[in-house]
Amino acid sequence: MSDIASAFDHGKAFIAFFTCGDPDLETTAAAVREAVRNGADLIELGIPFSDPTAEGPVIQEANLRALKGGVDTDKVFGLVRDLRRDVSVPLVFMTYANVVFSFGAERFIARCRESGVDGLILPDLPYEEKEEFLPFCRAYGVKLISLIAPTSENRIARIAREAEGFLYLVSSLGVTGTRTEITTDLTNIVRAVRENTSVPCAVGFGISTPEQARRMAEVSDGAIVGSAIVKLMARYGRRAPQYVGDFVRAMKEAVRGASDGE
């Protein structure tokens, strides 16, 4: 197991998301390794699900392709075990409460511990219902990572005070997907977070260019990119790892160049 905080130890972090099994698990593994080789500080692994409500069309379609290819939760755990032979950066699952429930919550989180998963993000889990999973996460040393959205408002301080691992700050309302512009006032949200916790926060949803990544990292501790990487996987298929590596290198350079805007 890695310490999630280590992703933020050397300046601003770049976090890369992959849908596991699109186009296949072998290509996912190769692309993750290229991302890490080119500077990704933490990897989010999406477990395919038939109704990914927080995702836009790009990641929805990747989920469906992976499911049609026969990917299931057990195979994703196998992917993690393979990655852990040589990948030392923190690995975090991003999936849905139903996936965990259907597998069995304690069994799922125990398997996270066994295979080398450091944290769990459940975008459809209301903050008020996290006790469904939190005792198991604490028992097995898996961080349950909270999200803060622009609509969180008066709940920001409470969520921040109880945060573990890192805080996932959602940049925009709606689902995942690339955006031409991010207009949310993130500075005040991050200020409220930092008044209540020392846990790092990173911004995700809509980031697709080095300039966007740099701007998000200027107001937070890092940038999270998903749809832009999933698009590369869809476009290039089994040839995607090289392109993902080049993309991650450019994004990491942009994030590294960010200074704290506060």
Which residue intervals of 121-209 are DSSP H helices?
Answer: 134-140, 156-161, 186-194
Prediction pTM value = 0.93
In a domain, 262, yes or no: no
Residue 261, domain member (yes or no): no
Per-residue pLDDT of the chain (262 residues; tens, 9 = 90+): 569 999 999 899 999 999 999 999 999 999 999 999 999 999 999 999 887 666 778 999 999 999 999 999 999 999 999 999 999 999 999 999 999 999 999 999 999 999 999 999 999 998 889 999 999 999 999 999 999 988 887 899 999 999 999 999 998 644 444 434 444 678 889 999 999 999 999 999 889 999 999 999 999 999 999 999 999 999 999 999 999 999 999 999 999 988 654 4
Using CA atoms, how far apart are residues 184 and 254, in angstroms rounded to an integer? 20
Q: Which domain holds residue 167?
A: 12-256
The Cα 160–Cα 187 span in angstroms is 15
**Residue partners of 97: CB distance under 8 A and separation at least 6:** 122, 124, 125, 132, 133
Q: Within a domain: residue 3?
A: no
244 belongs to a structural domain: yes
- Looking at the structure of the chain, the number of domains it has is 1
Beta strand spans in the chain (E): 13-19, 42-46, 91-94, 119-121, 143-145, 147-148, 167-170, 201-204, 222-225
In angstroms, rounded to a whole number, what is the distance separating the alpha carbons of residues 16 and 110?
24
The answer to whether position 160 is within a domain reads: yes
Is residue 103 domain-resident? yes
Give the angle subtended at the CA of 200 by the CAs of 197 and 201, to the nearest 5°: 100
Alpha-carbon distance of 179 to 125, in angstroms, equals 24
5 in a structural domain:
no
Establish if 114 belongs to a structural domain: yes
Q: Sheet with 91-94: list strands edge to edge.
A: 143-145, 119-121, 91-94, 42-46, 13-19, 222-225, 201-204, 167-170, 147-148
Please report the sign of the dihedral spanned by the C-alpha atoms of residue 160, residue 136, residue 43, residue 152. negative
Q: What is the CATH number of the domain that holds 230?
A: 3.20.20.70
